[in-house]
């Protein structure tokens, strides 16, 4: 009888838990230069994008002043997943995010499929974010210098743009910074995030001077259904916390630092979002939000009667896109690096520069792919597909907590999700509900994406996986 493993055994084989730390610390790996504060800033930077600057314009008409409750509901749903991320990050404290967690709990092909989903989450969303930079940059330069770039080079492809040059330039600059070193990259991100937080704090302080309790009546004019609809709308303003777990190999004391950063970022983001919502709906009647494209700047402008709020908020939007793009490229390159280290991708993906301590090839390839998408591809069709990939990854993380509690109950965990097993089960149900709300064409595209993942796995990854070529002692044949 042949000793060659069957396809089913190959797809279900799991990476032994003890090998994750060995791989992360082996010679030639990434450098541990990131501390808890900087890592928290990565989570905040990836989460607070331009959405919060303009989200009220779409969410308030759906719920009225009760949008405050919508933000709280969305934050609670995000917290469920964040707690699951915190536990797995402390138990498997390496780069790779949910790809690594799936490899330890669900098996090789599930991990590969999750990595494929993360490619959607990071690359496509990164391109979509970079595309919008030209428009926000135009808004800022018009307010400051009365100058704007031609639409052909600054607008998204398919909506008046031909080649989105600002998006390409932004991705290129972020790549150059990432290639220089992780320490330098997280420092720049920290500065940008602090400025962004300062701008939002200023909105809260100044906006509170125009607060009128009369604007909160009626509180829920569209009922519970409106609150639920708005919660689904604003939920995706919380996506990005998983970026923290992509930095596991570059974090000092990762078993403790990763959960602290995930929970810390969630608390900061949730507090800011709810305060912004409270101040926003208290500063003007909820009916005034319909079609209010200027977002927070319009509210401040009405309160102060000055031009500076619009300029300040426009600068905040520009900085938000830069910091989010930087973190997205960072996270994507680290996931691909981890997959290359496991043999699931060619060896070039795991090479680290001895000078900078960064995966230069992987970073440049990621940047090139994102820049290409940003330059010439209309991205509207891919928005829901990105959401599907993100929610699938979130579901796997929550499922991983349930599995690892049973298969490795004695594993050293720096953090345990409270309320087990209720928290991971509720997280799975919340993600499942949001997936159910996605349109049919998204399911069809996602199915095609997974078929492509299966083809690449069968043709390359399963044959080159380290678990295929490693000695028997490094394989985990336990049942899934």
Q: Which residue has the higher pLDDT, 235 or 221?
A: 221
**pLDDT in the model for residue 68:** 93
Q: Which comes out higher in pLDDT, residue 401 or 377?
A: 401
- Judge whether 13 and 5 are in contact, CB under 8 Å: yes
Q: Is residue 449 part of a domain?
A: yes
The pLDDT assigned to 479 comes to 38
pLDDT greater than 80 at residue 11: yes
Q: What are phi and psi of 50, to 5 degrees?
A: -75, -15
pLDDT level of residue 476 (50, 70, 90 thresholds) = very low
Nearest to 55 by CA among 280, 228, 267: 280
- Which pLDDT score is estimated for 27? 47
* Model pTM above 0.85: yes
Query: Residue 373 belongs to what domain range?
Result: 33-464
The residue with greater pLDDT, 154 or 2, is: 154
474: exposed, middle or buried (C-beta count within 10 Å: 0-12, 13-18, 19+)?
middle
Please list the residues that pair with 34 across neighbouring strands.
Answer: 251
Q: What is the dihedral of CA 23, 27, 28, 29, to 10 degrees?
A: 40
In a domain, 15, yes or no: no
Q: Is the pLDDT of residue 2 over 60?
A: no
Residue 1 lies in a domain: no
Q: Using one digit for the tens of pLDDT, what is the confidence trace for 15-53?
A: 888 787 777 666 457 788 889 999 999 999 888 876 677
Q: Using CA atoms, how far apart are residues 14 and 64, in angstroms rounded to an integer?
A: 48
Instruction: Note the pLDDT of residue 471.
Output: 52
Helix (H) or strand (E) holding 94: none
Contact, 235 vs 305, CB < 8 A? no
Q: Is a pLDDT exceeding 70 seen at residue 292?
A: no
- Per the CB < 8 A criterion, the answer to whether 91 and 245 are in contact is no
User: What's the CA gap between 14 and 465, in Å, rounded?
Assistant: 11
Total domain count, the chain: 1
- Specify the pLDDT at position 6: 83
Cα torsion for 473, 398, 94, 113, to the nearest 10°?
70
Contacts of residues 345-352 at CB distance under 8 Å and 24 or more positions apart, as own/partner, are 345/461, 346/464, 352/28, 352/29, 352/30
pLDDT tens-place string over residues 412-454: 888 999 999 999 999 999 888 888 877 888 888 889 989 999 9
* Residue 16 maps to a domain: no
Classify residue 120: in a domain, yes or no.
Answer: yes
- Higher per-residue confidence, 65 vs 299: 65
**Residue that wins the pLDDT comparison between 473 and 332:** 332
Positive/negative CA dihedral, 127, 128, 133, 134 = positive
Q: What percent of the chain has pLDDT over 90?
A: 37
Beta-bridge partner residues of 135:
none
Vertex 229: Cα angle to 155 and 45 (nearest 5): 50
Ramachandran quadrant class, 97 (left: phi over 0; alpha: psi -120 to 50; beta: rest): left
Question: Does 260 map to a domain?
Answer: yes
Q: Give the mean pLDDT of the chain.
A: 85
Tens of pLDDT, residues 240-249: 888 898 888 8
Query: For 63-116, how does the pLDDT look when each residue is reduced to its tens digit (9 = 90+)?
Result: 999 999 999 988 988 899 999 999 999 888 888 888 999 999 999 999 999 998
Question: Residue 333 in contact with residue 250, Cβ under 8 Å?
Answer: no
Is residue 474's pLDDT more than 50? no
Of all residues in the chain, the percent with pLDDT exceeding 70 is 92
Q: What is the CATH number of the domain that holds 206?
A: 1.20.1740.10
Residue count (the chain): 480
> Which residue, 218, 288, 246, 2, is CA-closest to 114?
246
Does the residue 53 lie in any domain? yes
Q: Is the dihedral of CA 388, 393, 397, 399 positive or negative?
A: positive
């Amino acid at each position: 009888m042949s000793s060659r493993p069957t396809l089913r055994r190959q797809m279900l084989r799991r990476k032994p838990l003890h090998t994750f730390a060995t791989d992360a610390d082996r010679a030639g790996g990434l450098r541990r230069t990131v501390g808890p504060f900087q890592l928290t800033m990565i989570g905040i930077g990836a989460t607070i994008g331009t959405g919060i600057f303009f989200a009220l314009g779409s969410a308030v008409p759906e719920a009225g002043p009760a949008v405050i409750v919508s933000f709280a509901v969305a934050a609670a749903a995000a917290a469920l997943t964040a707690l699951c991320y915190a536990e797995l990050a402390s138990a498997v404290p390496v780069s790779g995010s949910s790809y690594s967690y799936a490899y330890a709990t669900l098996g090789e092909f599930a991990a590969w499929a999750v990595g494929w989903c993360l490619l959607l989450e990071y690359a496509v969303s990164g391109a979509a974010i970079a595309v919008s930079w030209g428009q926000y940059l135009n808004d800022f330069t018009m307010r400051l210098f009365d100058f704007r770039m031609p639409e052909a080079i600054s607008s998204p492809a398919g909506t008046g743009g031909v080649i989105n040059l600002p998006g390409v330039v932004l991705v290129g600059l972020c790549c150059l910074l990432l290639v220089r070193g992780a320490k330098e990259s997280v420092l720049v991100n920290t500065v940008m995030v602090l400025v962004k937080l300062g701008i939002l704090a200023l909105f809260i302080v100044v906006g509170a001077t125009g607060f009128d309790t009369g604007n909160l009546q009626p509180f829920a004019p569209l009922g519970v259904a409106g609150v639920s609809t708005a919660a689904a709308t604003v939920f995706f303003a919380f996506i990005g916390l998983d970026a923290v777990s992509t930095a596991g190999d570059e974090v000092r004391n990762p078993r403790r630092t990763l959960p602290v950063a995930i929970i810390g970022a969630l608390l900061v983001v949730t507090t800011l979002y709810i305060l912004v919502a409270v101040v926003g709906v208290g500063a003007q009647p909820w009916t005034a939000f319909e079609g209010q494209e200027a977002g927070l700047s319009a509210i401040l402008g009405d309160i102060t009667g000055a031009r500076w709020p619009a300029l300040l908020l426009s600068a905040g939007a520009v900085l938000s896109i830069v910091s989010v793009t930087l973190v997205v490229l960072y996270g994507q390159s680290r996931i691909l690096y981890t997959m290359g280290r496991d043999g699931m991708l060619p060896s070039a993906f795991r090479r680290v520069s001895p000078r900078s301590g960064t995966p230069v090839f992987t970073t440049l390839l990621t940047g090139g792919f994102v820049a290409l998408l940003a330059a010439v591809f209309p991205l509207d069709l891919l928005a829901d597909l990105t959401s599907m990939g993100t929610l699938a990854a979130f579901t796997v993380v929550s499922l991983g907590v349930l599995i690892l509690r049973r298969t490795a109950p004695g594993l050293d965990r720096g953090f345990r999700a409270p309320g087990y097993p209720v928290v991971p089960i509720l997280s799975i149900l919340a993600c499942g509900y949001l997936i159910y709300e996605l349109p049919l064409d998204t399911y069809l595209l996602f199915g095609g994406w997974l078929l492509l993942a299966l083809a690449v796995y069968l043709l390359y990854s399963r044959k080159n996986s380290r678990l295929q070529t490693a000695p028997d002692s490094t394989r985990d044949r336990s049942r899934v």
